[in-house]
Amino acid sequence: MSEIIQRVKSSTIEAMRAGEKSRLVVLRNISAAFKQIEVDERIELDDARALTVLDKMCKQRRESSEQYAAAGREDLLVQEQAELVILQEFMPAQLSTSELDKLIDEALANSGASSLKEMGKVMGVLKPQLAGRADMSAVSAAIKAKLST
């Protein structure tokens, strides 16, 4: 069993014992997402795939937060941000801007990309390295900026 899945299960048990209902809902949603993929694809999730699932859930919460903020729905915004905090407990530490820039520069050099048409090459090199450690839309924007100059 994946280390991440094991951490989610133990956190679920702790939340049940502590009576943390809102935390428990988020943890059960994570477990359900993991189980859904295991059933649909008939596989046992490894840490890399679990990170992909968590990253997707985090991205959904960030996007929802932006929409709720724009709509002035403070109640829903607070809820989404609270869920995001819980999800991020299981994610690896985020890369700093300087670390991210260094990896992008290395990927640009290694792939030989020189125009926006070759952005896919760079993303292909970076995606496995950055899974769960950086917001891929921000990475994409940084790559576009570097290839445009």
With tokens 């990253």, the residue in question is 55
Q: Which residues contact 3 (CB under 8 A, 6 or more apart)?
A: 47
DSSP character for 134?
A: S
Give the confidence band of 79 by pLDDT, cuts at 50, 70, 90.
Answer: very high
Write down the pTM of the prediction. 0.80
Helices then strands, each counted (H, E), the chain: 7, 0
pLDDT digits (tens, 9 = 90+) for 91-128: 998 888 899 999 999 998 888 888 888 898 899 889 88
Domains of the chain and any CATH numbers? 3-88 (1.10.1510.10), 97-148 (1.10.10.410)
Q: Which two tokens stand for residue 99?
A: 């670390």
Residue 147 is predicted with a pLDDT of 86
pLDDT digits (tens, 9 = 90+) for 7-47: 999 999 999 999 999 999 999 999 999 999 999 999 999 99
